[in-house]
Each structure stands twice: as C-alpha cells, then as structure tokens.
Structure 1
C-alpha cells in the first residue's frame, strides 16, 4: 500500500488586496513605482488591476505544479483562508487535475499577514485506499512557557508567554486504508529581521529551533518519548532553514560555478541529530536537493532546501527505495539551475513572474504497512 505525500509553499494565496504600499514604498510593487500616482484612490484602483491581472497566470502555474506533483495528500503554506483555498481548488486546480481534493483543512494561525498552513486530501489514494480523517488539532496557542522552551537566546526578542509557532503546527490524525498515519504541517519563522549585525538566518534561528523542538515534543507526547521510531508520521512544510546549500558563484554573462556548503548549525538538527526523523531528499545528489533559489545580486546567490517531508524512521525504512521528486517547472527563468538539471518550464513562465511560486513542490511515494 502506498501514499503519495507532497508539500508546497504556494506563495501568497490571498483573497485580500494590500494597499500598504501607498504609505510604505518598501511594500509598493515595483511596477507602480514607474508611475507618478498622487491620488490614493487611483493607487488602490491600479493596485487592484495589477494584482488581478497577475494572479490568473500565477494560479494557473501553481495548479500546474500541483498537478505534476499528483499527491494524494498535499500540505500547503501561505494560504489566506478557507474561501481562498476553495476558490483556488475549484477554479484552477480542479481544471488541471480532473479529480478534486474534496477534503480541505485549515485553521487560522498566528501569522501577522494572515497566511496559514492547510491540507488538501483526496478521498482515496491513487491505488484505491480510503483516506480517513480521525482528528485535526491546532497547536497555534502553545507558548514557550507551556513547553518549558524559553531561554536566554529567545529572551532577546521574545517573552515567555509568546506563542511558539509563528503560524501553526497543524496535526492530522489519519487512517490510510485503515492504517494509522500522523501528519504535522508547519511553516517556521522566516529568515528576515536581522539584528545586532547578524545575518537574518542566524538572528532568527532560536525561534525556528524552538518551533522544531515544539513539533518534536508534540509527537513524543502523542506516541511516548522514545517510542516514536516505529510509528507512521511525517512532518511537512516550509521550515525556512537548511542544513546545506549550494553556493552560486558568477554571473549569467560570465558563467557560474556551484559549490555545496554544509552549515555548522541549523534548527533542523533537532529532527536529525539522533535519528528522530529522516530527510529523504538527502537521497538525491547533493547538488540536486534545492527547492528555492535565493539571490540578492551576484554577490549573494544560493540554492537550498527549505521545503521538507521529514519521515519517521519506520516510514523511511519502508520507503528506502523511494526518491522524492522536486517539481521545478514553475520556477522563473531567473532561477539558476546547475548543469544537467534544466527542466521545461510551464507555459507563460516569466523572467521573475509569473511563476508557480518562489518555492518548488516536494512529493514522495511512501510505502505503508
């Protein structure tokens, strides 16, 4: 019996317009900066028209990426709300896939922009096994104090009663063909907001580390500490951290070279250091594990994995011959691919936009017993 599990940061699947760029130029779209707009109402009308025109292409490309992943269960990040998810699934995804994801789950979390994690599920796997939902739990209200996670490093930016998850850890207790399967969907703290001369990743790592520890605590509380190895669970989502990256050196005109670099520390070490969970994407070549291209000019470019399907030891062992897929056809043409990894982009992909997302979907076939 097999299950096809995927995760995808769909990037701002929103039902709202953001007019904050009228007062804050840092939040203003670059195309509107080309025009001298002096009237707020005119600005709002232009922003609405711009976003509506851009969104149709974007969501067609997002749907194509999801259709190519062809997951039985798909974990999503950056979803505004349930109406947004329903409108996207019916208006775009259903047209691409043909058979819809009728089971949808989303709980409003803690993100200041209102973006949440969500799950789309078919009623049956592709092999005909019934997908049943036993329970759905949100952990958005957990605080550092609740789990005893507060420390001196967190105290620099947080209080003991602050919520641990910057979005949520959405837990779904499932049965796949009658077999128990637990799923944990997350979207960890971003790597922005650098402080005290540190880079954004280092300055926010304590928050992500606490989120990872909290996920592990939730799983160990569910199954018993030291008794998780033989359980069927997966942790999916955009974890906004990496244990390695591929440094991209050079320019488009002069050419590139690519150098893999292992990081000394990562919030994700919480999962991997003692074998609590396995990142099966590491079964791919070290140059071919990336799900996101990051660039701030030619001096700062790298490819890295931010999107994960962490497997329990027993799931990893049963699926030892399976290699996760990374869907890159929705990437914009500005993304630098190492030699031999080029793919055929989806129709209408642009230099920077439109695109399916800044992230790539990850999908894997799991063998369940």
Structure 2
C-alpha cells in the first residue's frame, strides 16, 4: 500500500493575535512606523495588522499542504484543536481536492501553547482506527535520560522531558498498521550565538526518550515494525553553505535517532536538495552575514519501511523570496532572488510566506502486518 506521510511546521498557527505581552515579530516593522496616543488604539491597530498578515500567510500554508497531497499530516506549532479544524475547513479545503479529518491535538508543555497535531485523509480510515497517546507527562527519570548535562540546567529527574510532546498515533489500516511518533524537539534559539550547543543536551534527552518509546512500543522486534518518527527535530547533521558547499556538523541528538535506528530518506537526495530551512543572520563576531541551508524537519523510517524504498518531496514554493532555492547559485543579489524563483502568488520578500519551514513528504510502501 502506497502512503504519503508529511511533516510540516506551520509556524504559529494561532487563534491568538499575540503570545502574552510579546509583540508578534511579523507586525513589529509596521508598528514601529506608527504613533498612538492611547494603548488601546495601538492594540487595535496591531490586531488589524496581525489578522491581515495571518490571512495571506494561511492561504500559502494551505497551498503547500494542497500541493503535497499527503495522506497523513504531522503538524507542529498549532495553537489548539479548534484552530486546526478551522484552518482546514476555511483554507485547506478551499484549495485541495483532498478532504482531511481525524484531527488530533493534545495540549503539550510549550510555554507559548504551540502543540503538535495530526490529520489524515478522511477516506483513509474510520475514526475508531486512529488512537493517539500523549507523553507530555513523561519525565527524565521515567525515560532514564537524566544526566549531569541535564542537571546543569537546574532540571530535576521528575521534571517533564518533552518541551512540547511526543504524540504516538496508531493507525489501523486493516491488514496494515502504522505508528507515528510526532515530535517537535527543543529549539536551538536561546537568544545567544551558542544556541545550538547550549541546548543540545535537552534535544538529546528528548531524542533518547523518543527512541525509548519506539522500543517499548514494539519490544525486541522494533526493527521489523512499521513506525515513523516525524516532525521538527530542530537540529541538523550538515550545513549547506553558499555555492552548495557541505560542512558536516554531527548532532548527538540526531545520532540517537538515526544511527542504527531510524532511516532518513532525505540523506539520499543530492546535497543541494537536503534542506528544509534557510537561516540568514548577521554574525557580529565574524562581521558578516551567514547563510545556511539545513534540514530541521524529518520523516525517519523504521528499518523495515526503509528496506521497501521511499520517494521524497520537499515543497518550497511557500518560502519567501529572500531564500535561495538552490544553494549552489552564486548570485544572491536582490534582483536575482526577486525574479528567478517559483513561488505561490503574493509571497513576499520576507513575508507573507507559508512558513519558515518547508513541508517534507515521503511516500512509502506500507507492508501488510507480519504474521510469523
């Protein structure tokens, strides 16, 4: 059975116009040009700007989902089940000829309230064929992943290990079953230049917990089972720089999930295609702009699924024009980037955009259940 499984960080699919008292980054520029006499006037203007940007953005997010034509969707940064259902009803289903249902989301541990979610083609299975288990309450001690590096953060063994959650989604497809472990690991951004190494112990602990979940779920036969770890893992094993130069950057967090465990089908692509996220920033210590294409989003296949082969599609038409779609292109000038890219209508230079991540879809050949 052919099945298309996709993961997509939809970047703050929110029912709230702001998180707590922090101004939304996508409205900051416009608001900086305006002056207001009263706080409520500023708030009303900010709400208006945010809603306008959100409508443009969500049309593009929906276009990326429609283009991928996935049977199963693993989603990150979703505010609530209500907003997930509203987004599909009012955006995705107006653009796609696939009807989705089986929406699942449980409130996780993220301080902003952004969660991982799930959706599947409505005709793929019945509601009683989808079972979801949250692991938001799981602790470092329970998963045996507490160590000195974790203790250095002031964390205790009884604290929760997942920064968001790891949703285990069991799909009963009759003669076939598939279990998804939907993740969104700890961000690399701690507000400092050393964000990646500084936060690595937390991601590594989460990755170890995910691996433990897989092995507990399937026991000694885990290599032969049908499972997928999917989501924004917030780390990479290589950086693709200007001119397509590849620099290996091993990640202890990813190695837990990919070395003698899950298989990353994106690794089989040509080097200049192995990315789902573009980062461009001024590095003060180096006195220059640094540009990096990296893979942050993964669909990791069990050894049994990987043996049957997989086809990879990365949807990039929703990215802003400032993103070079081919890392090998030496011309990064504004005229070049603004006129030589295949994008959805109304995509902007920096915004609006579908997301700051690409949608990653992997088509697998799902085998029937083993009856040894």
Same fold (TM over 0.5): yes
8 Å Cα contact 2:75/2:231 also seen in 1:
yes
Greater helix share, structure number:
2
Aligned to 1:295: 280
Superposed CA offset, 1:111-153 (max 9, x none): 000000000111334xxx7786342100000011222211111
8 Å Cα contact 2:293/2:327 also seen in 1:
no
Question: Which of the residues 183, 187, 201 maps onto 1:186?
Answer: 183
Aligned to 2:333: none
Offset, 1:34: 1.5
Query: What is the rounded CA distance, in whole Å, between the counterparts of 1:300 and 1:81 in structure 2?
Result: 35
1:228 partner SS: helix
Offset, 1:204: 0.3
Aligned to 2:335: none
Query: What is the rounded CA distance, in whole Å, between the counterparts of 1:113 and 1:177 in structure 2?
Result: 38
8 Å Cα contact 2:281/2:290 also seen in 1:
yes
Aligned to 1:307: 297
Query: What is the rounded CA distance, in whole Å, between the counterparts of 1:146 and 1:352 in structure 2?
Result: 43
Question: Which of the residues 211, 218, 223 maps onto 1:223?
Answer: 218
Size of the aligned set, in residue pairs, is: 351
Offset, 1:260: 0.7
- Stretches of 4+ aligned residues off by more than 4 angstroms: 19-22, 24-28, 129-132, 339-343
Aligned to 1:39: 38
Aligned to 1:254: none
Q: Does 1:354 align with 2:342?
A: no
Aligned to 2:195: 200
Question: Which of the residues 253, 256, 261 maps onto 1:267?
Answer: 253
Offset, 1:300: 1.9
Aligned to 1:165: 162
Question: Which of the residues 225, 231, 239 maps onto 1:245?
Answer: 239
Superposed CA offset, 1:169-196 (max 9, x none): 000111224311101100000001167x
Distance 1:339 1:358, change over 3 A: closer
8 Å Cα contact 1:131/1:174 also seen in 2:
no
When the two structures are superposed, what TM-score results if normalisation uses the length of structure 1?
0.90
Q: Does 1:156 align with 2:152?
A: yes
When the two structures are superposed, what TM-score results if normalisation uses the length of structure 2?
0.89
Query: What is the rounded CA distance, in whole Å, between the counterparts of 1:291 and 1:267 in structure 2?
Result: 18
Offset, 1:216: 0.6
Distance 1:87 1:26, change over 3 A: closer
Question: Which of the residues 310, 316, 321 maps onto 2:306?
Answer: 316
Superposed CA offset, 1:8-29 (max 9, x none): 000010001217567x798971
Offset, 1:299: 2.4
Gaps of 5+ in 2: 283-287, 330-339, 368-372
8 Å Cα contact 1:219/1:228 also seen in 2:
yes
Aligned to 1:105: 104
- Superposition RMSD in Å: 2.1
Offset, 1:42: 1.1
